[in-house]
Each structure stands twice: as structure tokens, then as C-alpha cells.
Copies of this chain bind each other. A is one copy, B any other.
């Protein structure tokens, strides 16, 4: 692989680029709407060059990585479609995968064989290329969700790029990905947003009585609102399914309390603590 175009050189696109510049001899071209951001990315050494013109940006590239918000993908697919050829590998870093594949099928007519959807399970609270870090994906999981018709060469090459950044790559179908992420990421975010909504609805000074533990618990409620709005609507059925499933777990705690089941509730808390402590050991 000689040349890559990154569309959207922010935190994730910029970290991917920086990591590759540190380890590989690949020319990286940035594309975006804001020249100042691209200039900054170039100054930071993430990209070799940039263009505001998509034809120039895609010229001669082996791979195009789309690292913009998922809701922009339809426009981007339409924009790149006339300027890529059958050899160009397409990948993305969107946090929902079923919706990306559906949009690709809509724009390209069918899922391109060389499109390898990806989702790095890594991030930061900050955004923008200033926060980019070439080591962001080191020892982190990256999930690829190629469709059945995917070209093996494309999958292998995308996998190799992430592995060059130190990532552990796992391949699964998009439905499994979206279901898993609804549980481990989307549901906790809904709980955190919802808790702030509930507490602020109960009088504005309730939060004055929140202590240290609340700071960590509520951190993800400070996440970007428009990004999470898009995730909600790009993975709506899984999110709704798991909110309702979670409410069943909450109902169980209410039942235990109402029925005076002290042993059952203590066991639930012991198991929860053990699951969390065991999970933490691997982190």
C-alpha cells in the first residue's frame, strides 16, 4: 500500500494517520471541508498533504478511510463514487455498522466488494486532530464487519493496517457488532444522559449533593450530543431492545427490595462487583 486518503482528519482519522506515519512508509492525503484543520493535521505530521478537492485527494490512492460522523456517509459515498475504481479499498471508522452498510448499498447499488467497514473501540473525551495520538489504538480492539461478498485481499490489507498500529482485530457481522455495542457503549450512554435528565428534572440543586463517585459515573454524559443523536437513530432497534432489557434488570432489584430478599440482592451486587473487577484485570 502506497497512498491513503483520509476523509475527516479529526481525533480518530488523525490518530490513524499519525500511527501509520510512525510505522509505515505510506503517503497520506487528507480531505476535509476546513482548510485550517487540514493545515493543523499537516503541521502535526499526521498527513503529508491535503486537498479540498475530492478528485485531487483521491488521485492514485489505494485506500480511502472515511472518518467523519456516520450521518455524513451518504454524501461522502456519493462524492467519492465517481472518483474511485474497482481496486480502491474503502473503509470507515463509524461506531454503528449496519447503517453504514445499508447506506453503502443504497449509494453504490450493492455493497462494494472492497468496502471493509471498521470500528476501533477506542476514543477520548476530546475531539479534533489536536487530540490525535498515534498510540491511541495500541492494544485496543478494532472490529471489522465485512459483508459476505467482501474481497479477501481488501479485508487482509485493512486488518494489516490496524495491526500495524498495535490493534487487536476481530471480524464479525454487522448485526453482532451493533448488538454488542448497543450493550457495552450505547446503553451506558443512554443511562448517563437519562440520569442527568432525571436528576435535573427533580429540582436544580439536587446535583449539589452528588459526591465523587458521581463524577466518574456521569462522565459519558458529557459526550457530544449530535454524535449520540446520530448513534440513536443509526442503531435504534438494538438500543431500544437493550434499554427495555436493562429495565427488566432494574425491575428485578425493585422486586428484591420489595420482597425483602436480602440474600438475593447481596448476591447480585457480589456478582456485579466480581464481573467488573474481573473485566478490569484485562484492561
Contacts and interface: CB of A to CB of B under 8 A. Distances in A.
A219 B219 CA distance: 11
Interface string A247-277: 1111011101110101001101111110111
A249 B216 contact: no
A216 B216 contact: yes
Contact of A197 (B194, B196, B212, B252): B252
Nearest to A229: B266
Contact of A217 (B194, B220, B270, B275): B220
A214 B193 contact: no
A156 interface: no
Integer count of this chain's copies in the complex:
2
Contacts of A192: 217, 272
20 contacts: A122-B212, A123-B213, A180-B209, A184-B199, A184-B211, A187-B198, A188-B213, A194-B252, A197-B252, A213-B220, A216-B217, A216-B219, A218-B276, A222-B277, A225-B272, A225-B273, A240-B257, A240-B258, A243-B253, A247-B247
Interface of A: 121-124, 140-141, 143, 180-181, 183-185, 187-202, 206-226, 228-229, 232-233, 236, 239-240, 242-250, 252-254, 256-258, 260, 262, 265-266, 268-273, 275-277, 279-280, 283
